[in-house]
Structure 1
Amino acid sequence: MKSAVSAVPMKDRILEAADALFYGQGIQAVGVDAVAAQAGISKRTLYKHYPSKDELVAAYLARRTGQAIPFEGPPVEQILGLFDGLAKWFGSKRFRGCAFVNAVAELSGERQHPAVGVASEHKARRLAHVQALLQQLKVEEPALLAEQLMVLFEGAVAVSMVRGGDPQVAASAREAACVLLRHAGVALGRDARDSAR
């Protein structure tokens, strides 16, 4: 009978180890040896699946893009749901900021690094998703409002990180998002403000 560890596909084992180490300790601080040890494999086996650390870092971030929780429901609920999700994340013990921003910051000066491209694409997809939701709501300038909402979202992550994972930051960002949405003519309902608390 296979153990739970050996039943996990090798690439998944490697990426789980990379995720724990890169997000927890930082990309530059963690070598391939540490990832291999965490995965319980040899460095040679790791290199069979990911021929370079650069490829491993890009794959680690690409895996995270697929872990974003999709929000269902009307457009307004989906937009505000992004901010509601932040409150839970900020309050968790594992919160270390945005993995994508952290990676780009660590790899500053390496704009051609494949991980930077993955991070940029992830942020662009989220922005496009919010813009599409705003188009459904028929706001006048969906591109501008989407950009403003994402600045609030990303800013909340940065501020909460500096404050050691403060969930109140998410509530403040959500309230500011409500102000922007109302200003754009979006009807939010009476409990939109209270539901963030």
Structure 2
Amino acid sequence: MKERILQTADRLFYLKGIRAIGVDTIAAEIGISKRTLYNHFPSKDELIAAYLKRRFVVASPTERPATDQILGYFDALERRFSAKDFRGCPFVNAVAELGPEDRSVKKIAAAFKEARRLWFRDLLALLDVEDKEALATQLVVLVDGAIAQDLVRDDPAMARAAKAAATVLLRNAGADVE
């Protein structure tokens, strides 16, 4: 039951917004009472935190060359942008909706963004590039910028533009990019 609640909350929160969806709506969608929902999640805040933690998935490095993984991230973004249900970054959306005063949501969002940055940094370390910390930060800025541009323009090509910029950054840092 807990997983059904989370699946439903995930879908509704992401597609319609956290503030727009109450626990009544989630319970009704599943066909359970609010009491049953509250038995699994004692408050909406706990359900929101569980939703964000469920979305907290960071890629693991693979055996592919580091540059392929880094640039492939932008290809994956383009595919995601093309999906009809793409509504941006759930972590940014949550902070924007609930405000920076909601420390627990902001903490989860910041941890996700840092985990993505560290993923890039660890791949950059394999390339022995100059200033991998700064370059990793620049790459996450490109990712977030591409997401924002796609949301405003509804244009998956924004991921390609970000990938082209990432390619330039990698080359300028000394990486061998084809």
TM-score bracket, normalised by the shorter chain, equals: over 0.9
Aligned AA (2:10)? D
Is 1:172 aligned to residue 161 of structure 2?
A: yes
1:52 aligned onto 2:28:
no
Residues paired across the two proteins, number: 177
Establish whether residue 76 from structure 1 lines up as the match of residue 74 from structure 2: no
How far apart, CA to CA, are the structure 2 residues paired with 1:42 and 1:77? 48
TM-score scaled to structure 2, two decimals?
0.95
Does residue 156 (structure 1) correspond to residue 174 (structure 2)? The answer is: no
TM-score of the aligned structures, taking structure 1 as reference length: 0.86
Superposition map of 1:1-197 within 5 A: 10-66=1-57, 68=58, 70=60, 72=62, 73-112=64-103, 114-164=104-154, 166-189=155-178
In the alignment, what sits opposite 1:5?
A: none
Residues 71 and 81, structure 1, Cα contact 8 Å, conserved in 2 = no
Structure 2 counterpart of 1:38, one-letter code: E
Q: Distance in 1 between matches of 2:59 and 2:34?
A: 33
Q: Which amino acid aligns with 2:35?
A: R
Unaligned runs of 5+ in 1: 1-9, 190-197
Cα deviation per residue 1:139-160 (whole Å; 9 max; x = unaligned)? 1200000000110010000000
Q: Structure 2 vs 1, CA of residues 149 and 109 (structure 1 numbering), >3 Å: closer, same or farther?
A: closer
Whole-Å Cα distance in 2 between the matches of residues 24 and 110 of structure 1? 23
Asked if the contact 1:22–1:30 (Cα under 8 Å) also holds between the matched residues in 2, the reply is: yes
1:17-42 deviation per Cα after TM superposition (whole angstroms, max 9, x unaligned):
10111011111111010111122211
After TM superposition, give the deviation of residue 123 of structure 1 in Å.
Answer: 0.7
Distance 1:111 1:131 in 2: 28
Spell out, residue by residue over 1:102-161, the C-alpha distance to the aligned partner (whole angstroms, 9 max, x if none).
00111114242x222211111111101111111111112000000001100100000000
* Structure richer in helix, relative to its length: 2
Q: What letter corresponds to residue 78 of structure 2 in structure 1?
A: A
Q: What displacement does 1:81 show? A: 1.4
AA partner of residue 147 (structure 1): T
After the TM superposition, which parts of structure 1 deviate over 4 Å for at least 4 consecutive aligned residues?
68-71
**Structure 2 runs not aligned, ≥5 long:** none
User: Identity of aligned pairs, percent?
Assistant: 53
Equivalent pair of 2:60/2:119 in contact (CA under 8 Å): no
- What is the deviation of 1:70? 4.4
